[in-house]
């Protein structure tokens, strides 16, 4: 192997090691724990590489860290709250009907969730549809209709529902010319079909009152409840254990492999692992090289080229008719 080839290999290895050591780490203190007044805990995150990869890029925090939104195939929706004890998000849809609209129905869109994610639309939601085409939609009082046609009961839209008679927050905001019925779509497709034959709709979520021994333990509130799953693993539990360093569960953005994010760097076990505690940076999450690192790489590259040129100039020429003046180094 020629000296020139050896020096080239040496330079490539050196530059690769340097660039890898200069990558930016995503450590636990870079994972924001809130957006506005909503806490952001595992499995969620608003910074890439934090939380669970199952929910990567699903939540967005904007407007100077004050506005939290859920991203779905049908659009972005403001998040009103997140419950981690009863795992769900409560989101709002500005396009849905509200009390201020009264009988001024605006064009709307159907809410949908990607079925391949770990999100599901909660069965605790009730949907109210207004001014539906009775030639296309079964609009009848459900108890009576179910007695007559039990096999078609699920496909009917209940015009005598409690929510239609007691619209949350606004009582009887609709006039006598407006019809209302309550229906729970079994799938996103049925929701879209209903909207094709109804003027508009809204979603009502039954929220727990949180008061023990209350006459009514739930009350209706406008919004869409979206349930989520906890993809908890033993690695994550070990990482979060305070006696093990109290790390933050995250992942490598390139491989999606688990990482425990610590103040001193990222590890694959836990922050106080004696085998890894001496390493300040293991498994960087983000692979972007900073401008300072790039400049340093250029400086080091220049130094290596100078060194190789100096050494190569002293080496005897054994190939061709090159001279010290026309060689590359």
For the entire predicted model, the pTM comes to: 0.71
Number of neighbours of residue 155 by Cβ within 10 angstroms: 13
Note the pLDDT tens digit of each residue in 124-172.
889 999 999 999 999 999 988 999 999 888 889 999 998 988 888 887 6
**Straight-line distance from the first to the last Cα atom of the chain, in angstroms, rounded to the nearest whole number:** 17
Q: What tokens appear for 163 in the block?
A: 């929510």
Asked if 283 and 264 touch (Cβ cutoff 8 Å), the reply is no
Q: What tokens appear for 251 in the block?
A: 């992942």
Alpha-helical runs (H) found in the chain: 3-21, 142-148, 162-165, 188-196, 234-240, 291-314
How far, in whole angstroms, is CA 173 from its chain's centroid? 36
Per-residue DSSP letter, 50: B
Q: Give 295 or 81, the one with higher predicted confidence.
A: 81
Helix (H, G, I), strand (E, B) or coil at 191: helix
Q: What is the mean pLDDT of residues 300-325?
A: 43
Q: What tokens appear for 187 in the block?
A: 């799938």
Note the pLDDT tens digit of each residue in 219-267.
888 999 999 998 878 999 999 999 999 999 999 999 999 999 998 888 8
Distance CA 61, CA 247 (A): 22
Cross-strand bridge partners of residue 251: 258
Cross-strand bridge partners of residue 120: 227
Note the pLDDT tens digit of each residue in 263-298.
888 889 999 988 765 554 444 343 333 333 344 444
**What residues does each domain of the chain span?**
73-228, 234-276
Note the pLDDT tens digit of each residue in 2-39.
554 554 544 444 444 433 333 334 566 789 999 999 99
């Amino acid at each position: 192997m020629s000296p020139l080839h050896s020096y080239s290999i040496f330079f490539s290895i050196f530059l690769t090691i340097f660039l890898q050591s200069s990558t930016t780490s995503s450590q636990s203190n870079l994972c924001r724990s809130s957006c506005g007044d909503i806490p952001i805990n595992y499995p969620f995150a608003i910074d890439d590489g934090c939380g669970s990869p199952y929910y990567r890029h699903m939540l967005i925090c904007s407007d100077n860290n004050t506005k939290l939104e859920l991203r779905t195939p049908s659009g972005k929706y403001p998040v009103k709250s997140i419950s981690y004890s009863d795992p769900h998000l409560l989101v709002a849809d500005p396009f849905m009907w509200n009390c201020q609209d009264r009988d001024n129905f605006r064009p709307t869109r159907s809410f949908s969730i990607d079925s391949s994610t770990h999100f599901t639309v909660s069965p605790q939601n009730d949907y109210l549809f207004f001014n539906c085409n009775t030639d296309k939609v079964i609009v009848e009082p459900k108890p009576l209709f179910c007695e007559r046609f039990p096999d078609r009961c699920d496909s009917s839209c209940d015009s005598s529902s409690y929510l239609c008679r007691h619209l949350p927050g606004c009582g009887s905001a609709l006039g006598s010319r407006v019809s209302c019925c309550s229906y729970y779509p079994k799938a996103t497709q049925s929701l879209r079909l209903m909207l094709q034959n109804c003027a508009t709709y809204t979603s009502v979520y039954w929220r727990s009152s949180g008061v023990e021994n209350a006459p009514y333990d739930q009350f209706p509130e406008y919004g869409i409840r979206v349930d989520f799953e906890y993809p908890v693993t033993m690695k994550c539990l070990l990482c979060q254990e305070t006696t093990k360093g109290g790390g933050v569960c995250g992942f490598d953005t390139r491989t999606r492999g688990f990482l425990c994010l610590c103040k001193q760097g990222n590890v694959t076990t836990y922050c106080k692992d004696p085998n890894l505690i001496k390493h300040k940076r293991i498994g960087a999450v983000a692979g972007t090289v900073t401008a300072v690192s790039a400049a340093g790489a250029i400086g080091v590259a220049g130094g290596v080229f100078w060194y190789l040129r100096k050494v190569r100039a002293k080496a005897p020429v054994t190939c061709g008719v090159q001279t010290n003046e026309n060689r590359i180094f």
